[in-house]
Structure 1
Amino acid sequence: MKYDLIIVGAGPSGIFTALELIRKDSDRKILLIEQGHTIKNRRCPKDKTKKCVNCKPYCNITTGFSGAGAFSDGKLSLSPEVGGDLPELISYDYTQELIEYTDKIYLEFGADTKVEGLESKEEIKEIRRKAISAGLKLVDCPIRHLGTEKAQEIYGKIEDYLVERGIEIRFGTQTTDIIVEDGEIKGVVITDSLKHEKEEKILSDNVVISAGRKGADWVKSLCVNHNIAHRAGTVDIGVRVEVRNEIMERVNNILYESKLIGYPHPFKDKVRTFCQNPGGFVSQENYDNDLAVVNGHSYKDKKSNNTNLAILCSHNFSHPFNEPIKYGVKVSELLNMLGNGNILVQRYGDILDGKRTWQKELSRSNVTPTLPDAVAGDITSAMPYRTMTNILNFISALDTVVPGFAGAETLLYGPEVKFYSNKVDLSLNFETSIKNLYCLGDASGWTRGLMMASLMGVRMGQILSGNK
């Protein structure tokens, strides 16, 4: 069986590749391969069990149509300054143009018309003044908040749109390898996601890999096995911080999401805030080998008493080490071990006092954890010293911008690790060193988040339709 185009992975970049081809009236025979379920059949049993049950063979939060995006807080960052390094490849101005184009597509499928962070300019100036005095940079970034439940509705509409217009989607199907002959792509090897009983070869002279953050390690293995040009990138390791809404209320109302960057002493590594969720919920994601990492969600209609956000420290390695993904995995495994397979949570004040946090202390705290099965413990026993020092010093600086943020009862959950560190060498048309093999989204190492992954897919669709 042969197709005009095979797309591996139904995350935002893969979805928007197919969507843009349809919008450009392409009559190509397209196959979209997805390891997980349709968006309607993606269910996390934790809603009923109240604790993670380590679903097999994959986690429904990270796997399935629209990838982890369907179960994220659903924020579209409308600035080229946020979301990875793609502007370095295609230019800042063109990235902004694609953001505006892609944003309109989201609006067509029902995204909220409200954009956060455009009003209250004088108040934003005051927040920036405080950030500067603390040695931090406030990044201007308008936000369109979809909301976790609304994002699932939007992606559900997109899934129906693709199927109704002839895109073939194979769910429950895992791509195990690619077929390369004389430096050109010829197809992929697939198998059933559950049983892995029989491998099948599917042929195409054009293959797009959009395996998402979850597929970053697999993409790295493809690069090694098929001599695809790539390089070690950055791995972000950190924690998810949770405070009462009262602490973050002013920043939440003015900016919705405050994107702050600092280079704290003594190491001067880049540390940043990421994925802020006013009235949100801390969540757990499971990767291969039962690896549990923390994340955050924010719904449109359901709110908690807390705000959570990530604080991430960037790590760049040089010769002789070039396995940043493995480094992030090892840190995560150690934290998981201390939590007996669960996410660890510790109070900021206990860290400063040099002690672990106990469950009885959490139960009488002003900040009630929104991740009920997180285990009270000692994050500092597993987090690397350099990373932990960066995080603590960053929190101290952030307290100048948001008084009370560095309170004794502030909660730190770990690990939060972003597995997008391998960076595939790409042409301006997103082609790899294998002819007609393209790589998109977070797994490529070039994007971080919904908007950048989506617009990379949009541009891929335009390229494949002849608009180069």
Structure 2
Amino acid sequence: MQSNYYDITIIGAGVSSVFLAYTLMKHNEHISIHMIDLGKKLSERTCGLDEGRGCTCEGVCSKYIGFAGLGKSEGKFNYTNDFGGELGRKIGNQTTLDLMKEVDDILCEFGGDFIPSYSTKNDTLSKRARMVDVKVLSTEVRHLGTRLASDIFQRMYEVLKNRITFSFETHIDTISKHDPGFHLKSNSGDFTTEKLVIGTGMSGSTWLKKQAASLGLFPGKTRLDMGVRVEMKGDQLQSILEDTFETKLKIERDSFSATTYCMNPRGRIIRKHQHGLVMPDGQNARENDIPGANLNFSLFVPRYFHSHGEAMDYAVSTIGGINQGRERIVVQRLEDFKLHRNTESLEGNLIGPSLKAECGNLREEVPELYSIALKEFFASLESLIGEPIHHDTLLYGLDAKYYEPKLPTDKNFETDVSNLYLIGDCSGETHSLSQAAASGIYLGKHLGR
């Protein structure tokens, strides 16, 4: 097949890559850009999981792979340095905030201002929380929802395709270094490029590990967050949510820290499929025509492992043990959890479950660390809201958030291999849509010069 040359090739068409390409296009009209992705165009990304059924995809799952990546999943952009990655440490906190403002401006340029942004900052709550050893993490939020996020990224694609060459459903088999650039072999032909940017996110972790090793790059430690998803009375946290749509709370102890994640007032719990595992995930009220009556969130405890493989083995062993080779998720009432007894039935439970799960005993199926964290957090939360957590609160096991192993890069995201860059979640520096997009803009300005 004919070999095609480009100034810059981007592997992966997720959020970081889309914002990188858009910035490059705006800053330099002369460079040739090629974007390659294993998945499909956004308009062709359909999966039964989107409709509450099983995966209907052949090969890679279109729910997670393809143009816009996870950007279309919920479209939640948190503009903060408090969580969502360590981009601020790498390029400076103010620079990161400025870049995230640019991310939001671009989203609004393509229709994101249809949904108003909101802030979770609450100085009064923060002061109260400090008195009970709880830290309140705050952010500006633009929560687009799946439909609007898909529309926005489709509009961005319509603009990008006029300047950028796209290769979808393309698997890069090998990457070889040829100074000053790279030679790529794929199922769609061979390509050469002067500069190569990889933005494959979490989905391409196995592939990236193999390619990095072939180029002499080896990752360090890998983070894995796991924890229980909680479903409680919709008004249980009213006293701390009066002025904000949601909040993010953190406790820190000598041996662990625990942080609430993806808090969904009036939301529902759905099944999430990742890495062959099934987990309880939160769905916001905006994703449903009929809002739920409950509030849900996950309480994540981060752990660090020596390698990505070790982290994944731990997740597969723990969550896979709960799944039992099927889509099993275990649920337990808070009262039963406290009394170390099985939950036999949820019939008549004041808090109706929004997810059909199997009653059981979390303490028997979840590592002790996550039970201890949950117990400590609830004690602090009760002090903060001034009342007991309702005993019919439901606990689902086990949710997880995966991270890429971090490969060393300099301040411009360039690896030890000249002209090879990593952005977004696969860089290990970002863990959110907003910071991933910001990293794309940052690199786009650098390369665009």
TM-score, normalization by structure 2: 0.90
State how far apart, in whole Å, the 2-side matches of 1:18 and 1:307 are: 38
State how far apart, in whole Å, the 1-side matches of 2:238 and 2:43 are: 34
TM-fit CA distance, 1:301: 6.5
State how far apart, in whole Å, the 1-side matches of 2:145 and 2:197 are: 28
Relative distance call for 1:259 and 1:405 in structure 2 (3 A) is farther
Note the residue ranges of structure 1 that are not aligned, 5 or more in a row: 192-198
Q: How does 1:70-219 map to 2 (within 5 A)?
A: 70-72=72-74, 74-112=75-113, 114-117=116-119, 124-163=122-161, 165-181=162-178, 185-191=181-187, 200-219=189-208
Relative distance call for 1:155 and 1:321 in structure 2 (3 A) is closer
Structure 1 partner of 2:257: 270
Q: CA-atom RMSD, angstroms?
A: 2.6
Conserved? CA contact 2:7–2:33, under 8 Å: yes
TM-fit CA distance, 1:331: 2.3
Q: Comparing 269-278 with 391-400, which one deviates more in the overlay?
A: 391-400
TM-fit CA distance, 1:71: 1.1
Q: How does 1:378-417 map to 2 (within 5 A)?
A: 378-402=361-385, 406-417=389-400
Q: Does 1:233 align with 2:207?
A: no
Identity of aligned residues (%): 27
State how far apart, in whole Å, the 2-side matches of 1:59 and 1:409 are: 36
Deviations 1:82-122 (A, max 9, x none): 2111111111121111111221111111113633227xx7x
State how far apart, in whole Å, the 2-side matches of 1:233 and 1:100 are: 29
Q: How does 1:48-87 map to 2 (within 5 A)?
A: 50-53=52-55, 55-72=57-74, 74-87=75-88
State how far apart, in whole Å, the 2-side matches of 1:440 and 1:61 are: 21
Structure 2 partner of 1:194: none
Conserved? CA contact 2:25–2:163, under 8 Å: no
State how far apart, in whole Å, the 1-side matches of 2:264 and 2:384 are: 17
> What is the one-letter code of the residue matched to 1:57?
G
TM-fit CA distance, 1:415: 2.6
TM-fit CA distance, 1:402: 4.0
SS at match of 1:388: helix
Deviations 1:362-407 (A, max 9, x none): 34323233334x3333333332222332233223322333466733
Conserved? CA contact 2:278–2:329, under 8 Å: yes
TM-fit CA distance, 1:54: 6.7
Q: How does 1:311-322 map to 2 (within 5 A)?
A: 311-317=299-305
SS at match of 2:118: coil
Aligned residues: 443
Structure 1 partner of 2:282: 296
Deviations 1:131-159 (A, max 9, x none): 22321111232222212322122122212
Deviations 1:187-231 (A, max 9, x none): 33333xxxxxxx743221211111112223433333334321531
Conserved? CA contact 1:33–1:171, under 8 Å: yes
TM-fit CA distance, 1:336: 2.0
TM-score, normalization by structure 1: 0.86
Structure 2 partner of 1:23: 26
Q: Does 1:39 align with 2:42?
A: yes
Relative distance call for 1:325 and 1:80 in structure 2 (3 A) is same
Conserved? CA contact 2:15–2:68, under 8 Å: yes
Conserved? CA contact 2:228–2:370, under 8 Å: no
TM-fit CA distance, 1:299: 5.0
State how far apart, in whole Å, the 1-side matches of 2:192 and 2:385 are: 55
Deviations 1:267-294 (A, max 9, x none): 5312111222222232333234x22233
Q: Comparing 3-12 with 274-283, which one deviates more in the overlay?
A: 274-283
Structure 2 partner of 1:195: none
Relative distance call for 1:55 and 1:311 in structure 2 (3 A) is farther
Q: Does 1:370 align with 2:359?
A: no
Relative distance call for 1:155 and 1:342 in structure 2 (3 A) is farther
Q: Does 1:342 align with 2:328?
A: yes
State how far apart, in whole Å, the 1-side matches of 2:77 and 2:26 are: 21
Conserved? CA contact 1:216–1:419, under 8 Å: no
Note the residue ranges of structure 2 that are not aligned, 5 or more in a row: none
> What is the one-letter code of the residue matched to 1:295?
D
Deviations 1:292-314 (A, max 9, x none): 23332325373222222221101
TM-fit CA distance, 1:447: 0.5
Conserved? CA contact 1:347–1:409, under 8 Å: yes
Structure 1 partner of 2:337: 351
Structure 1 partner of 2:14: 11
